[in-house]
A and B are shown apart, each in its own frame.
Chain A
């Protein structure tokens, strides 16, 4: 078993209580699930993502990730338009387990309003959340 607790969380990312991470680059936000989330889920066997151009809404599902046993919603950290989708996950969903912050990224969202970023959780607080 992996020890998610001991793994350093990337300092430059923002997080959500639903265990997504968000990387903000000007007005584009890259989204994936955290190490903690992938570990809790187990081996990811299927990822369903929106298409480019689709609208997503903050705190609402934009896709699903499935392990052998379970189906989990993916929750959008911000509202906006999907500008890029990680198509590689269709063939290699295991990237979500192997490299959640890298090759396991899911979508990039062009956000509607930077104000929504205020709802995201900084790394220190997320660390506390998962250690509870």
Chain B
């Protein structure tokens, strides 16, 4: 199994380690609920070094990314980042990604999910329009610093200049002749940064964050809380809400699909779907007892299957069960009620407004 450079740190911090997409990763240190609340209240550190870093370079870099991704990469100036999708020709999702513009037209970093990194790299090379595409995942570590005190903490470790990096912008910085990328991004709903740095610096950086953040209440956070944090925001997770078979439009990701930018993989099928979507991704809460879980069926009051749960958990912030589901469009409005089938029992649930919790972002 693959390990990040922080593996020993996790063990020392008492983490419970699990297999995640072929990586031996911390699922929790002190407990999912506590860690979740630490991020919402103070600041948490996530080792996200398992995520993939794929560079798209050369004179054909922009043209290639415009073809490969759904968002409009031509809008990106150096130092700007953009959430986007790699689509398949059927309009399904290959992966959700963040594209970072390092040098306009000729140098971009694409950050991809760990579970998809190899697949994405092969896909991008196969469908390239002449760019130089390199998978540098094994050279880079990545730490996410998330929570109300994240900016303060990163400023004290890297320098006060990080405070001027706007949301969804990033900046290259030079440390001992090597480049780091400090990005004002994240996937928790809290303010924070994601820092890309060379492998040989990550242990030192991680320890420095823990030390300088002690007074701010910093804690290491496992994958368990990472999942509950994104679920509370109704952020999609590849494999749950979005897959090769789901439509990005049904998933509510129409805002990153720019039909007017020119041709791109998956455009045709999505365009023809626009007017005839039959289901929608919604957030819901339980009226009856029970916790909704991935793949539980949704049943209408007249006993028709109308959807499926994609993610569900006990919300640590709200202390009540929450769920995300694909549901038939006739039930997709806030306030609509239906059943979730939980181990054979029908438990009433209700569509609610999302995100489930309100944060500063």
Contact = CB atoms under 8 A, between A and B. Distances in A.
- The answer to whether A and B belong to the same complex is yes
Interface stretch (B27-35, B78-86, B197-205, B234-242): B27-35
A130 interface: no
A43 interface: yes
A118 interface: no
The list of the 7 closest CB pairs from A to B, nearest first, reads: A45-B314, A68-B32, A1-B14, A43-B33, A46-B291, A43-B31, A69-B224
B316 A68 contact: yes
A119 interface: no
Contacts of A48: 289-290, 343
Interface of B: 14, 16, 27-33, 224, 227-228, 289-291, 293, 313-314, 316, 321, 343
B290 A46 contact: yes
Contacts of B293: 71
9 contacts: A1-B29, A42-B28, A42-B31, A42-B32, A43-B32, A43-B33, A46-B289, A48-B289, A66-B314
Contacts of B16: 1
A68 B343 contact: no
A64 interface: yes
Contact of A68 (B29, B30, B289, B314): B314
Nearest to B36: A68
Contacts of A71: 291, 293
Contacts of A66: 291, 314
Interface residues of A, number: 13
Nearest to A68: B32
Interface string A40-52: 0011011010000
A46 B316 CA distance: 13
Nearest to A46: B291
B141 to A, nearest CB: 25
Contacts of A42: 28, 31-32, 224
Contacts of A45: 33, 291, 314
A68 to B, nearest CB: 4
A45 B317 CA distance: 13
B326 to A, nearest CB: 21
Nearest to A70: B293
Contacts of A1: 14, 16, 29-30
Contact of B27 (A46, A64, A69): A69
Contacts of B316: 68
B14 A68 contact: no
Contacts of B31: 42-43
Interface in A62-106: 64, 66-69, 71, 90
A67 B313 CA distance: 9
B290 A68 contact: no
Given A1-B14, A42-B28, A46-B290, 20 more contacts: A1-B16, A1-B30, A42-B32, A43-B32, A46-B289, A46-B314, A46-B321, A48-B289, A48-B290, A48-B343, A66-B314, A67-B32, A68-B32, A68-B314, A68-B316, A69-B27, A69-B32, A69-B313, A71-B293, A90-B289
B37 to A, nearest CB: 11
A45 B289 CA distance: 12
Interface string A52-66: 000000000000101
Nearest to A1: B14
A61 B209 CA distance: 46
Max chain B Cβ within 10 angstroms of own Cβ: one of A42, A45, A64, A68? A68
Contacts of A46: 289-291, 314, 321
A64 B290 CA distance: 11
Nearest to A39: B16
B118 to A, nearest CB: 26
Interface in A1-59: 1, 42-43, 45-46, 48
Contacts of B321: 46
Contacts of B343: 48, 64
B227 to A, nearest CB: 8
Nearest to B30: A1
A102 to B, nearest CB: 20
Contacts of B30: 1
Nearest to A97: B31
A42 B34 CA distance: 11
A66 B224 CA distance: 14
Nearest to A61: B343
Contacts of B291: 45-46, 66, 71
A64 to B, nearest CB: 7
A9 to B, nearest CB: 21
Contacts of B224: 42, 68-69
